[in-house]
Amino acid sequence: MNFAESLSGCLEDKDILALNNATVYVELLLDGHYGNSNSNENFYAFLTDLSSPGFISNFEKDFFINEFSVQLLYELEESGTFDKIWTLELPEEEDSIEIPIAVLPENEESKELDLSIYYIDPKGDYLKCLNEHSKNDKVIEILNSLSEGLSLSPNLIAGALKEAFNNNEVDDQLSKVVISMECYFSIVNLVDKNTR
C-alpha cells in the first residue's frame, strides 16, 4: 500500500518510503490489535481508544514501544524524514504570556522533568506537502494549529482527529499517515527520546 503516494513530487522518494513503511507497520499493528482486516475501521477505533480517558489500558504493554516501532523511528531519523516532520523548537509568538504554575508547599522540592517534546515543524516539508495535498480540511486545520505551538497530548490530538472523520472510519490514505505520525510515532518518540 502506498499511503503517502500523493506527496510524491513534494517530498523525496526516501521520505515517501519512510512514511509508507511506518504507516504499513501501524496498519498491521492495528489489524492484529483489533482482529479486524478493515483498515479504515481500525484507524478510527485507534483514535477512539487513544482519545478515551485512561487510554493506556486499551493497549498491551509493548503496543507503542517495541523493537519494530523503535527501529522505524530510527529509520525516520536516519532518512531525514523525522526532521521534515518534527522540531524541538516552539514557534516564537510576539504576544506570548508566561503563566506561572502554582506549587503546593510540600511539593516545592519536587524534581522538574526535563522532557524533550517535539512539535510539528511549521516550516517543515511534511506540513507544507500535507497543506498542498490533503483532502481533509479538518485534519489540516488541526495540524496547522499544532504547528503554531499548541501543545496537546496525543490522546487530545486523537480526539480532535477523530472528529475530522465521518461514518466511523478513516477512509483516505494520507490521513492514515497523519494518524500514524501524530498519534502513534509521536508517542514512540516521546518515550524513546526521554528514556535514552
pLDDT in tens, 3-58: 999 999 999 999 999 999 999 999 999 999 999 999 999 999 999 999 998 888 88
Give the cell for residue 84: 521534515
**Mean confidence (pLDDT) of the chain:** 87
Q: Where are the alpha helices (DSSP H) in 66-152?
A: 67-79, 81-85, 125-133, 137-147
Tens of pLDDT, residues 52-85:
988 888 899 899 999 999 999 999 999 999 999 9
Specify the pLDDT at position 105: 54
Work out the angle at residue 84's Cα, subtended by the Cα atoms of residues 13 and 191, and round it to the nearest 5 degrees: 115
pTM (2 decimals)?
A: 0.86
Contact 100, 125 (CB under 8 A): no
Secondary structure letter of residue 194 according to DSSP: T
Lowest mean pLDDT among 103-107, 142-146, 163-167, 171-175: 103-107
